[in-house]
A and B are shown apart, each in its own frame.
Chain A
């Protein structure tokens, strides 16, 4: 008697915002065999530029005991609801998060020897450790209804070091220092580096104090948000504008050194601050993509965060930047 070759495929037809999922398992056996049970497993998987992670999410039953007649195609429908969903599916630049539905076909013990296993390979296995046959499909739950809600709070922006200005200061300092020191040796070079570092720190502190603190207050405004900037009178940069960015952060901790990847998912419109004295209020819209809310995604090393940027030009022509993170939740 020839061995039974099983052709099987799992298809997810629909996955809704309410996390109701439906699909079917199509299965055809070249020989008649008895199946004890067909179980379904759902996993949440994060795969990207990091050690990928998998979490068992739920299990359900696709079919009870069944006889598969030779060469008769069977289409077994199923449906399930994903409860207690903490993490939505997500297609990012450095990571994808998706659900995987796996059907496990447990052939009757008496018939397991009849199943052809010659097509199994070491790399791509279609059989589980408990001898059941498996087939699986990935699916994403497309979010079409949720919106965003900003955390209503006040935050102080951080003054960022200007790289170009630091390089110019370093070159000027090096020129003067190397001219003044009596000889080139390790001690003098180390001393020079320490003094340069101190000069850069003091310069940054001086500029920060001269410009004064800048704070932003965020407020939800229907399907957008308002950002009120409060500044001191000394804050006199030219060409000031404000925008926000949504950033995907993935920490790749594979191996002996870790690397952090940051990719910008979205940059908002840059809004100019014109003719304002102590404060200005600007309105920003949210992005059309719906699942970019601030989220650590419950998976180690993967995070989405929002950042506000205030940019201006000093009277010496240096572009100076202030930033702060802010929190945006998902609103269902």
Chain B
């Protein structure tokens, strides 16, 4: 099978290829409209790790290059850069790295904040009188998983190939039984198998 592919199809994707492998779980156009026109809004991508929150956030931000994205982690969670940025819309990955006070300050000063989180930040929105819209990243279907896998296989293929059901329905169901809706767990497992 390996000769069909240029690289491991289940490796992390390049920034430029995000749109090619994404299977959107929400209407991108509707969200985009809200981002551009809402007066005060917080959009929350909520779910456990490996469900696709960050991939969706990064993809959505690529549609709005004028608005910045801040990828926070334990060593990089400084709010000052966000506050000094002139944009009134910000994308924030892993907002839990900010303190409650910083989150409130951020929600007060920016018109729209789109962020990923494991736990709802609804109360920060209530305190800042910000409209709150939550998108849960939960659940998986065989059809979605097939689409996710097929797009990756297509991207890694040497030529434009027809992905002739490399994975049977039984195999996909077995992956879902083992990893539930943890897409990254499934993709990492397939990476290991391929490698």
Q: Decide if A and B are genuine partners.
A: yes
Hey, which bits of chain A sit against chain B, CB under 8 A?
45, 47-54, 93-94, 96, 98, 119-124, 126, 136-138, 252-258
* Interface size in chain B (residues, C-beta < 8 A): 34
Q: Does B40 contact A (CB under 8 A)?
A: no
Asked if residues A52 and B20 are in contact (CB atoms below 8 Å), the reply is no
A43 to chain B, nearest CB (A): 10
- On whether A96 and B11 interact (CB within 8 A), knowing A254-B54, A256-B49, A256-B53, the answer reads yes
A residues in contact with B117, CB < 8 Å? 256
A198 to chain B, nearest CB (A): 26
Distance in angstroms between the alpha carbons of A98 and B6 in the assembled complex:
11
Partner of A51, one of B6, B12, B73, B118: B12
A residues in contact with B151, CB < 8 Å? 123
Partner of A122, one of B12, B20, B54: B20
B residues in contact with A137, CB < 8 Å? 6
A residues in contact with B12, CB < 8 Å? 47-52, 252, 254
Distance in angstroms between the alpha carbons of A327 and B155 in the assembled complex:
38
Asked if residues A255 and B49 are in contact (CB atoms below 8 Å), the reply is yes
Chain B 36-57 near chain A by CB (<8 Å), digits 1 or 0:
0000000000000110011100
The secondary structure that dominates the B interface is mixed
Q: Does B96 contact A (CB under 8 A)?
A: yes
- On whether A123 and B49 interact (CB within 8 A), knowing A47-B8, A93-B195, A138-B6, the answer reads no
In B1-54, the 8 Å CB interface with A consists of 6-8, 11-16, 20-21, 49-50, 53-54
**A-B CB contact pairs (8 Å), 22 listed:** A45-B7, A47-B12, A49-B188, A50-B12, A52-B13, A52-B14, A96-B7, A98-B7, A123-B151, A252-B12, A253-B71, A254-B54, A254-B55, A254-B184, A255-B54, A255-B55, A255-B93, A255-B116, A255-B184, A256-B94, A256-B96, A256-B116
Q: Does B154 contact A (CB under 8 A)?
A: yes
Distance in angstroms between the alpha carbons of A311 and B139 in the assembled complex:
47
Top 7 A-B pairs, shortest CB-CB distance: A47-B11, A123-B154, A255-B54, A52-B12, A257-B49, A256-B94, A51-B12
Chain B 76-101 near chain A by CB (<8 Å), digits 1 or 0:
00000000000000000110100000
A residues in contact with B157, CB < 8 Å? 124
B19 — nearest CB in chain A belongs to which residue? A122
Hey, which bits of chain B sit against chain A, CB under 8 A?
6-8, 11-16, 20-21, 49-50, 53-55, 71, 73, 93-94, 96, 116-118, 151, 154-155, 157, 159-160, 184, 188, 191, 195
A291 to chain B, nearest CB (A): 17
A residues in contact with B73, CB < 8 Å? 253, 258
Asked if residues B154 and A121 are in contact (CB atoms below 8 Å), the reply is yes
**Could you say which of A52, A252, A255 has the most chain B C-beta atoms within 10 Å of its C-beta?**
A255
- On whether A256 and B6 interact (CB within 8 A), knowing A52-B12, A121-B160, A123-B154, the answer reads no
Distance in angstroms between the alpha carbons of A124 and B154 in the assembled complex:
6
B residues in contact with A45, CB < 8 Å? 7, 14
Distance in angstroms between the alpha carbons of A255 and B13 in the assembled complex:
13
Partner of B8, one of A96, A136, A257: A96
Asked if residues B191 and A54 are in contact (CB atoms below 8 Å), the reply is no
Asked if residues B50 and A255 are in contact (CB atoms below 8 Å), the reply is yes
B residues in contact with A96, CB < 8 Å? 7-8, 11
Distance in angstroms between the alpha carbons of A120 and B160 in the assembled complex:
8
A residues in contact with B16, CB < 8 Å? 54
A103 to chain B, nearest CB (A): 15
A residues in contact with B191, CB < 8 Å? 48-49
A residues in contact with B54, CB < 8 Å? 254-256
Distance in angstroms between the alpha carbons of A94 and B55 in the assembled complex:
20
Partner of B155, one of A119, A123, A256: A123
B residues in contact with A123, CB < 8 Å? 20-21, 151, 154-155
B157 — nearest CB in chain A belongs to which residue? A124
A53 to chain B, nearest CB (A): 7
B residues in contact with A50, CB < 8 Å? 12
**Could you say which of A52, A123, A258 has the most chain B C-beta atoms within 10 Å of its C-beta?**
A123
B21 to chain A, nearest CB (A): 8
B58 to chain A, nearest CB (A): 9
Asked if residues A54 and B160 are in contact (CB atoms below 8 Å), the reply is no
Asked if residues B160 and A138 are in contact (CB atoms below 8 Å), the reply is no
Distance in angstroms between the alpha carbons of A52 and B94 in the assembled complex:
20
A residues in contact with B159, CB < 8 Å? 124
Partner of A138, one of B7, B21, B116: B7
A residues in contact with B118, CB < 8 Å? 256
A residues in contact with B49, CB < 8 Å? 255-257
Partner of A124, one of B15, B55, B116, B160: B160
